[in-house]
Amino acid sequence: MRRQRKTKILATLGPASSGEEMVEKLVLAGADVFRLNFSHGAHADHKERLDIIRNLEQKLGRPIGVLADLQGPKIRIGTFADGPVRLEKGARFRLDLDETPGDISRVSLPHPQVIQSLETGTNLLLDDGKLKLEVTATSKTHVDCTVITGGKLSDRKGVNIPNALIRMSPLTDKDRRDLDYALELGVDWVALSFVQRPEDIAEIKKIVAGRAGVMAKIEKPAAIEHLTDIIELSDAVMVARGDLGVELPVQEVPVIQKKIIGLAKEAGKPVVVATQMLESMISSPVPTRAEVTDVANAIYDGTDAVMLSAESAAGEFPVEAVTMMNDIAEETENDPNYRTIMAAKHSGLEATTADAISAAATQVARTIGASAIVTYTTSGSTALRAARERGETPVLALTPSLTTARRLALVWGLHCVHTDDAENFADMVGKACNIAFSEDFAQPGERIVIMAGVPFGTPGSTNILRIAWVGEKPLQST
């Protein structure tokens, strides 16, 4: 089960990929982490899929991460009395709290917090940006608008508000129920939609209380303004290009994507690039050349993971989509320029022992031509620092915590192994050599670099760097 790439693949499960046989095919094709999309499906569906993943994890002996993606608030208009209407450019149109079916002059927007957050001059984008309105007058119960870009408008279309900070929690009542259930199931990551401020992350982290990693989905322009603080508070971030591409001019999305990836890497936080990566593979067995280039560019930027949404959840070719993602990653990482780019974009070190040891391990491994870096980690922090180096040498993360192993499955370059912690120095070396051999990372006579901490089993105590030879035969397991 050794991957021949360092970038991870996050695949969404859905109607096209729910069965045990299909999920196993996706793992064998390259999926490292699975996404349960709580915008769709019942709780029982998500439990069934998680049970399949956990059973498969036992069968394959490989930690598999699970991400619960919360829906977040969906701002939608109400309904129309006589079917769709056509709004003409320059016309007046009202959005209000009255849930009476609308007409050519008005429609309900049943979100008081949204109505009360809008200001004169704010732009509203309806139906994924196909229509554009500008707010001309406000009150506590309605806003009056002028149609800037007209078109047909029908029931329950979505509303995006790019340039306003909406005074509402990203956690709806549905999200809170879903979050409680996801944590009860034992998911490894929780993704929060509609993040606008650092306080949104603080709110969900209080509820999660360390039971899962919290991933901030960056999809609102307001989040870009607070990006550094949001990344600092989050355990990981996602470049959610769907709504981001609606609420920002599309030509700005690539620049924002690179900025998010760069800041996340600098902070040592995992980063995922998502949305429409291989969109055409929903109905085609091969992607467009532009999609392949898009995936490769995210990998060149050093993202930890690339994500498949409808391609694996509802598409006709889920296995082919994962296989293609795997092949693109392998080919990109085999490009000599990839290593040059990773070295050029290396983040500065923090003044910590873990950073110093991680940087030294990467340098030593490169100098002596080590086959692998083996890091012992309990909380995962040491392995995250090793991954932050974006080094050429493969990294094995050995941890006594299955929860940690599953979370780290998302992280660039880490091959996670759930094993007992080292008891002493001899055990530390023996176990590292055994696992490097058994996991096909090092052969007899080759050298490995070991990172660990004393006292053994103490989180955050990384203070040892050791070079070891893999014996002619695997050492006796301890």
Query: Where does the pLDDT of residue 452 fall: very low under 50, low under 70, confident under 90, or very high at 90 and above?
Result: confident
| Res 344: pLDDT | 84
**Residue 345 belongs to some domain of the structure:** no
Cβ atoms of 132 and 124 within 8 Å: the answer is yes
Residue 316 pLDDT more than 50?
Answer: yes
Question: 270 preceded by cis ω (within 30°)?
Answer: no
| Res 478: pLDDT | 33
192 and 251 co-located in one domain: yes
| Res 476: pLDDT | 45
Residue 318 pLDDT more than 80?
Answer: yes
| Res 460: pLDDT | 67
Supply the CATH number for residue 385's domain: 3.40.1380.20
Q: How many independent structural domains does the chain possess?
A: 3
Cβ atoms of 191 and 217 within 8 Å: the answer is yes
Cα–Cα distance for residue pair 320/375, rounded to 1 Å: 33
Q: What is the DSSP letter of 417?
A: E
- Among this protein's residues, is 172 annotated catalytic? no
Task: Please provide residue 321's backbone torsions phi and psi, each rounded to the nearest 5 degrees.
Answer: -65, -45
Spatial neighbors of 194 by CB under 8 A, at least 6 apart, are 72, 73, 170, 200, 217, 219, 220
152 and 237 co-located in one domain: no
Give the bridge partners for 337, in sequence order: none
> Where is the domain boundary, 300, 335, 370?
335
**Residue 120 belongs to some domain of the structure:** yes
CB neighbourhood size of 325 (10 A): 31
**Residue 245 belongs to some domain of the structure:** yes
| Res 334: pLDDT | 97
Q: Point out the catalytic residue in the list 8, 35, 220, 241.
A: 35
284 and 307 co-located in one domain: yes
Q: Point out the catalytic residue in the list 275, 362, 382, 404.
A: 275
Residue 64 pLDDT more than 60?
Answer: yes
> What does the pLDDT look like over 374-389, one tens digit per residue?
999 999 999 999 999 9
294 and 367 co-located in one domain: no
**Residue 426 belongs to some domain of the structure:** yes
40 and 187 co-located in one domain: yes
Cα–Cα distance for residue pair 50/36, rounded to 1 Å: 8
Could you tell me whether strands 213-218 and 271-274 are parallel, antiparallel, or unpaired per DSSP bridges?
unpaired
> Where is the domain boundary, 160, 186, 202?
160
Spatial neighbors of 280 by CB under 8 A, at least 6 apart, are 286, 287, 288, 291
Question: 455 preceded by cis ω (within 30°)?
Answer: yes
Q: For the chain, what percent of residues have pLDDT higher than 90?
A: 87
CB neighbourhood size of 12 (10 A): 25
Q: Point out the catalytic residue in the list 3, 74, 76, 345.
A: 76
> What does the pLDDT look like over 145-186, one tens digit per residue?
999 999 999 999 999 998 888 888 999 999 999 999 999 999
CA–CA distance from 360 to each of 20, 115, 355, 366, 420 (Å)?
43, 55, 8, 10, 25
| Res 477: pLDDT | 38
Spatial neighbors of 171 by CB under 8 A, at least 6 apart, are 70, 72, 179, 192, 203, 204, 207
| Res 473: pLDDT | 53
279 and 328 co-located in one domain: yes
Average pLDDT, the chain: 94
Type of residue numbered 9: I
| Res 346: pLDDT | 76
Mean per-residue pLDDT, 270-289: 97
According to the per-residue pLDDT averaged within each range, which of 177-191, 415-429, 450-464 is highest? 177-191
Give the domain range for residue 113.
85-160
pTM: 0.93
315 and 453 co-located in one domain: no
Q: How far apart are the first and last CA of the chain?
A: 23
Q: Point out the catalytic residue in the list 5, 106, 205, 217.
A: 217
Cα–Cα distance for residue pair 381/268, rounded to 1 Å: 9
153 and 180 co-located in one domain: no
209 and 89 co-located in one domain: no
- Among this protein's residues, is 258 annotated catalytic? no
Dihedral (CA of 195, 169, 404, 187) sign: negative
Q: For the chain, what percent of residues have pLDDT higher than 70?
A: 98
- Among this protein's residues, is 35 annotated catalytic? yes
> What does the pLDDT look like over 321-353, one tens digit per residue?
999 999 999 999 999 999 999 988 777 777 777
- Among this protein's residues, is 76 annotated catalytic? yes
